[in-house]
C-alpha cells in the first residue's frame, strides 16, 4: 500500500495497523501503542499518500476511514507524535512548502472575505458552542494556573492574567478586537471598571453579546465592525483569538491600526495561537472545512510588523500545553453531547467537528503549536520594568467583584443560526 510506504520512514515509535478494503493488514512502525484503522475505499491509500493533510479528515468525515475502537484521537496522536519527531524529514518539508504557498494565497483577507470567513465558523448554531465551551463562552485557550482547575476556573484565570498585563484602571477605554460572545469585554467591565467597546464580524456573536450586556446591565458597546474601520482612540487594546484570522498579507495594517487606535500612554495585549518552529502553513483540511483564511503565525513573522509600527515589545509570553488541556476538555464535552448534535446537524458534521478538536489537541501536544501573548506600548515607560505586577496580590486584582452577581453564567436563550 502506497500510504504505508509513505509512513514507514517516519514511524519510529508505536505501530499503525492499516486494514485495507480487501481485509489485508499492513503494519507500520514497531512497539506500543498500537492503533488499527480500516480503509473502506480502495483509493484511500493512494489519496493519503499524495495529500494526507486533506484526505485524512475527509475520509473520517465520509466514513471511509474508521478507527478500531472508534477513537480518532488515538490515530492522530500516534501519527502526529511521530511526525513531530521527524519534523525535518524531506517529504514533510516539501509538503509544508506547497501548503505554505497555498496559505499565502488563502490568507488574503480584505473586509468582504473576512466577513465570509467569520460567518463560516462563528455563525454556526449557538447550541453547538454551548455544548463544549465553558459557561462564559470563552472560545480560546484557558490558563491552567493550577493543573487541577476546572475549565470555567481556568478561563477566568486567563482573563485575570490578561487584565493584569493590561494594567487596567477604572474608567479606562478598552477596544476588544474580535470580542466573540462578549465574555472578555463584560468581565473587564464588571471586574475592573473598564469602558469596553467590543467588535466582531460575526452577526451571531454580536447579537448574543448585546443580549448578555443588556441582561447584566453592563455599559459595554458591541459593534458588528472590522478592526480597519474603527476610528476612536483607546487607553487599552486587547485581542484574544482573533489575530489568527487577520491573514499574513494584512499584518502590517493590523499593527498600524492598533498603534493608531492606542493613546500615547496606552498598552495593547495580543493573544494568538502561534508556532514555535518558524513560518509554516495552515493544512488544507482546516482551511477548507474549519477556518478559511486562518493562519497561526511564527513569532518571527509578526515581530517585524510590531517593530515597524513603532511599538515597544514590553513583554512576550509563550504559553505551552494550556491549549492542549483546553481542547481535551472541549472534545470530552462535545463527545458527551454528540447524540444531541447529530440531531441538530448530522453524523458527518459531528465527525468533522470531532476530527477538528482531536487533531488540534494532538497538534498542541505533539508538534510546535503554542500560544503567544505580546504586550505592546508606544512609550518606553508605559509599563513597569519588572513582571511582578502580573502576579502580585497588590495588583489591580483588588478591584475584582463577585462575578456570580454581575455576569450571567449563561446568555439569554434565542434562536441561533
Q: What is the pLDDT of residues 251-268, one digit of tens each?
A: 999 999 999 999 999 999
Same domain, 65 and 145: no
The pTM (predicted TM-score) of the whole model is 0.90
- 8 A C-beta contact, residue 236 and residue 265: no
Same domain, 358 and 322: yes
Task: Give the residue from 52, 86, 120 where a domain finishes.
Answer: 86
pLDDT band at 83 (very low <50, low <70, confident <90, very high): confident
Q: Give the per-residue pLDDT at 300.
A: 97
Same domain, 41 and 126: no
Average pLDDT over residues 140-159: 97
Residue 343 CB coordination number (10 Å):
8
Same domain, 135 and 27: no
State how many domains the chain has. Answer: 2
- 8 A C-beta contact, residue 174 and residue 166: yes
Same domain, 73 and 115: no
- Within a domain: 242: yes
Q: What percent of the chain has pLDDT over 90?
A: 79
- 8 A C-beta contact, residue 130 and residue 344: no
- Within a domain: 274: yes
pLDDT at 322 over 70: yes
Question: 141-148 long-range contacts, Cβ below 8 Å, gap at least 24?
Answer: 141/241, 141/271, 141/273, 141/319, 141/322, 141/323, 141/326, 141/371, 142/322, 142/325, 142/326, 142/329, 143/319, 143/322, 144/322, 144/325, 147/325
Same domain, 191 and 69: no
Q: Which residues contact 129 (CB under 8 A, 6 or more apart)?
A: 137, 139, 181
- Within a domain: 95: no
pLDDT digits (tens, 9 = 90+) for 178-206: 999 999 999 999 999 999 999 999 999 99
Same domain, 141 and 262: yes
Question: 112-115 long-range contacts, Cβ below 8 Å, gap at least 24?
Answer: 113/293, 114/201, 114/226, 114/245, 114/247, 114/293, 115/201, 115/226
Looking at residue 309, the DSSP 8-state letter turns out to be T
Same domain, 236 and 138: yes
**pLDDT averaged over every residue in the chain:** 90
- Within a domain: 106: no
Phi-psi region for residue 193, left (φ > 0), alpha (ψ -120 to 50) or beta?
A: left
- 8 A C-beta contact, residue 157 and residue 181: no
pLDDT at 158 over 60: yes
Residues 333, 339, 340, CA angle at the centre, nearest 5°? 80
pLDDT at 410 over 50: no
pLDDT at 123 over 50: yes
pLDDT at 12 over 70: yes
**φ, ψ for residue 140 (rounded to 5)?**
-160, 175
- Within a domain: 351: yes
The CATH number assigned to the domain holding 301 equals 3.40.50.150
Q: Give the per-residue pLDDT at 104.
A: 73
Instruction: Give the residue numbers spanning the domain of 50.
Output: 2-86
Q: Give the per-residue pLDDT at 93.
A: 59
- Within a domain: 188: yes
pLDDT at 94 over 70: no
Q: Is 234 helix (H, G, I), strand (E, B) or coil?
A: strand
Same domain, 367 and 300: yes
Which residue, chain included where needed, has cell 486533506? 54
- Within a domain: 120: yes
Q: Give the per-residue pLDDT at 105.
A: 75
Same domain, 75 and 127: no
- 8 A C-beta contact, residue 270 and residue 376: yes
Same domain, 173 and 47: no
Same domain, 58 and 125: no
Q: Give the per-residue pLDDT at 400.
A: 38
- Within a domain: 68: yes
Amino acid at each position: 500500500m502506497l500510504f504505508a510506504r509513505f509512513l514507514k520512514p517516519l514511524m519510529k515509535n508505536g505501530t499503525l495497523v492499516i486494514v485495507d478494503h480487501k481485509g489485508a493488514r499492513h503494519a507500520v512502525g514497531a512497539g506500543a501503542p498500537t492503533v488499527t484503522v480500516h480503509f473502506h475505499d480502495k483509493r484511500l491509500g493512494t489519496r493519503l499518500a499524495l495529500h494526507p493533510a486533506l484526505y485524512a479528515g475527509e475520509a473520517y468525515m465520509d466514513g471511509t476511514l474508521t478507527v478500531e475502537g472508534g477513537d480518532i484521537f488515538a490515530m492522530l496522536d500516534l501519527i502526529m507524535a511521530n511526525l513531530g519527531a521527524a519534523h525535518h524529514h524531506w517529504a514533510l518539508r516539501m509538503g509544508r512548502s506547497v501548503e505554505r504557498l497555498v496559505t499565502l494565497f488563502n490568507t488574503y483577507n480584505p473586509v468582504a472575505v473576512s466577513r465570509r470567513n467569520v460567518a463560516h465558523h462563528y455563525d454556526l448554531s449557538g447550541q453547538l458552542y454551548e455544548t463544549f465551551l465553558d459557561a462564559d463562552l470563552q472560545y480560546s485557550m484557558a490558563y491552567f494556573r493550577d493543573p487541577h482547575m476546572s475549565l470555567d476556573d481556568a478561563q477566568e484565570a486567563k482573563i485575570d492574567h490578561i487584565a493584569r498585563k493590561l494594567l487596567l484602571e477604572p474608567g479606562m477605554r478598552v477596544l476588544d478586537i474580535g470580542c466573540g460572545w462578549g465574555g472578555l469585554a463584560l468581565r473587564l467591565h464588571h471586574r475592573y471598571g473598564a469602558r469596553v467597546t467590543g467588535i466582531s464580524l460575526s452577526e451571531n456573536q454580536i447579537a448574543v453579546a448585546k443580549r448578555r450586556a443588556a441582561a447584566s446591565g453592563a455599559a459595554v458597546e458591541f459593534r458588528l465592525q472590522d478592526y480597519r474601520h474603527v476610528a476612536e482612540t483607546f487607553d487599552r487594546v486587547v485581542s484574544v483569538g482573533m489575530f489568527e484570522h487577520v491573514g499574513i498579507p494584512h499584518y502590517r495594517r493590523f499593527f498600524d491600526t492598533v498603534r493608531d487606535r492606542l493613546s500615547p500612554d496606552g498598552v495593547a495585549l495580543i493573544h494568538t495561537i502561534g508556532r514555535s518552529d518558524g513560518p509554516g502553513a495552515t493544512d488544507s483540511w482546516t482551511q477548507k472545512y474549519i477556518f478559511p483564511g486562518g493562519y497561526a503565525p511564527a513569532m518571527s513573522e509578526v515581530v517585524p510588523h510590531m517593530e515597524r509600527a513603532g511599538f515597544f515589545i514590553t513583554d512576550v509570553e509563550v504559553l505551552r500545553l494550556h491549549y492542549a488541556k483546553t481542547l481535551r476538555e472541549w472534545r470530552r464535552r462535545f463527545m458527551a453531547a454528540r447524540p444531541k448534535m447529530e440531531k441538530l446537524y448530522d453524523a458527518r458534521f459531528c465527525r468533522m467537528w470531532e476530527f477538528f478538536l482531536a487533531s488540534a489537541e494532538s497538534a498542541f501536544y505533539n508538534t510546535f503549536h503554542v500560544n503567544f501573548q505580546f504586550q505592546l506600548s508606544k512609550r518606553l515607560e508605559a509599563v513597569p520594568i519588572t513582571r511582578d505586577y502580573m502576579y502580585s496580590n497588590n495588583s489591580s486584582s483588588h478591584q475584582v467583584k463577585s462575578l456570580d452577581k454581575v455576569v450571567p453564567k449563561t446568555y439569554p436563550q434565542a434562536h441561533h443560526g
